[in-house]
Amino acid sequence: MASTYFIGKKVANPTLGILAAFLVGVIPAVIAEYGIIYLDLPAAALATLGVALYLYQNKGWALFWLTWPSSPKNPCFWFSRPSIIGNMSSENPNLNH
Protein backbone atom coordinates (compact mmCIF):
# COMPACT_ATOMS: atom_id res chain seq x y z
CA MET A 1 0.00 0.00 0.00
CA ALA A 2 2.96 2.30 0.54
CA SER A 3 3.86 2.00 -3.14
CA THR A 4 0.31 2.92 -4.09
CA TYR A 5 0.53 5.97 -1.83
CA PHE A 6 3.75 7.12 -3.48
CA ILE A 7 2.30 6.60 -6.97
CA GLY A 8 -0.77 8.69 -6.07
CA LYS A 9 1.43 11.33 -4.45
CA LYS A 10 3.63 11.56 -7.56
CA VAL A 11 0.71 11.62 -10.02
CA ALA A 12 -1.46 14.14 -8.14
CA ASN A 13 -0.97 14.99 -4.46
CA PRO A 14 -0.60 13.37 -1.01
CA THR A 15 -4.37 13.30 -0.46
CA LEU A 16 -4.91 11.22 -3.59
CA GLY A 17 -2.04 8.96 -2.49
CA ILE A 18 -3.71 8.30 0.86
CA LEU A 19 -7.07 7.69 -0.83
CA ALA A 20 -5.55 5.30 -3.38
CA ALA A 21 -3.68 3.33 -0.70
CA PHE A 22 -6.84 3.10 1.39
CA LEU A 23 -8.91 1.86 -1.56
CA VAL A 24 -6.31 -0.74 -2.50
CA GLY A 25 -6.20 -1.95 1.11
CA VAL A 26 -9.94 -2.43 1.48
CA ILE A 27 -11.04 -3.88 -1.86
CA PRO A 28 -12.65 -7.30 -1.38
CA ALA A 29 -10.02 -9.21 -3.37
CA VAL A 30 -7.25 -7.94 -1.10
CA ILE A 31 -9.23 -8.53 2.09
CA ALA A 32 -10.07 -12.07 0.95
CA GLU A 33 -6.36 -12.87 0.54
CA TYR A 34 -5.22 -11.64 3.96
CA GLY A 35 -3.65 -14.58 5.76
CA ILE A 36 -3.75 -16.85 2.71
CA ILE A 37 -0.48 -17.67 1.01
CA TYR A 38 -0.80 -17.03 -2.71
CA LEU A 39 1.82 -15.47 -4.94
CA ASP A 40 -0.60 -13.10 -6.68
CA LEU A 41 -0.93 -10.45 -3.98
CA PRO A 42 2.80 -10.18 -3.13
CA ALA A 43 3.70 -10.19 -6.84
CA ALA A 44 1.23 -7.36 -7.46
CA ALA A 45 2.63 -5.44 -4.50
CA LEU A 46 6.19 -5.81 -5.77
CA ALA A 47 5.14 -4.81 -9.30
CA THR A 48 3.50 -1.72 -7.81
CA LEU A 49 6.78 -1.01 -6.05
CA GLY A 50 8.49 -1.23 -9.43
CA VAL A 51 6.08 1.29 -10.94
CA ALA A 52 6.60 3.66 -8.00
CA LEU A 53 10.38 3.39 -8.31
CA TYR A 54 10.13 4.07 -12.04
CA LEU A 55 8.06 7.21 -11.41
CA TYR A 56 10.69 8.41 -8.92
CA GLN A 57 13.47 7.94 -11.53
CA ASN A 58 15.07 4.88 -9.93
CA LYS A 59 15.00 2.83 -13.12
CA GLY A 60 17.50 0.11 -12.10
CA TRP A 61 15.52 -0.97 -9.05
CA ALA A 62 12.28 -0.50 -10.98
CA LEU A 63 13.45 -2.99 -13.59
CA PHE A 64 14.39 -5.47 -10.87
CA TRP A 65 11.06 -5.24 -9.03
CA LEU A 66 9.05 -5.39 -12.26
CA THR A 67 10.75 -8.60 -13.43
CA TRP A 68 11.82 -10.59 -10.36
CA PRO A 69 8.36 -11.19 -8.79
CA SER A 70 7.24 -13.09 -11.88
CA SER A 71 10.07 -15.63 -11.58
CA PRO A 72 8.33 -17.97 -9.07
CA LYS A 73 5.45 -18.30 -11.54
CA ASN A 74 7.84 -19.19 -14.38
CA PRO A 75 10.19 -21.89 -13.07
CA CYS A 76 11.15 -22.84 -16.62
CA PHE A 77 13.33 -19.70 -16.68
CA TRP A 78 15.34 -20.92 -13.69
CA PHE A 79 17.23 -23.42 -15.84
CA SER A 80 19.29 -22.89 -18.93
CA ARG A 81 17.84 -24.12 -22.19
CA PRO A 82 20.74 -26.46 -23.09
CA SER A 83 20.22 -28.47 -19.90
CA ILE A 84 16.49 -28.80 -20.60
CA ILE A 85 17.12 -29.85 -24.18
CA GLY A 86 19.84 -32.23 -23.02
CA ASN A 87 17.50 -33.86 -20.50
CA MET A 88 14.72 -34.15 -23.05
CA SER A 89 16.95 -35.72 -25.67
CA SER A 90 18.27 -38.34 -23.23
CA GLU A 91 14.73 -39.33 -22.21
CA ASN A 92 13.33 -39.44 -25.74
CA PRO A 93 15.21 -41.81 -28.06
CA ASN A 94 13.55 -40.25 -31.12
CA LEU A 95 15.45 -37.01 -30.48
CA ASN A 96 18.88 -38.70 -30.51
CA HIS A 97 20.57 -38.71 -33.88
* Residue 5 vs residue 43, higher pLDDT: 5
| pLDDT recorded at residue 70 | 67
- The 3-state secondary structure of 33-85, one letter per residue: HCCCCCCHHHHHHHHHHHHHHHHCCCHHHHHHHHHHHHHHHCHHHHCCHHHHH
Percent of the chain with pLDDT over 90: 35
pLDDT tens for each residue of 67-85: 877 666 665 555 544 444 4
| pTM of this structure | 0.66
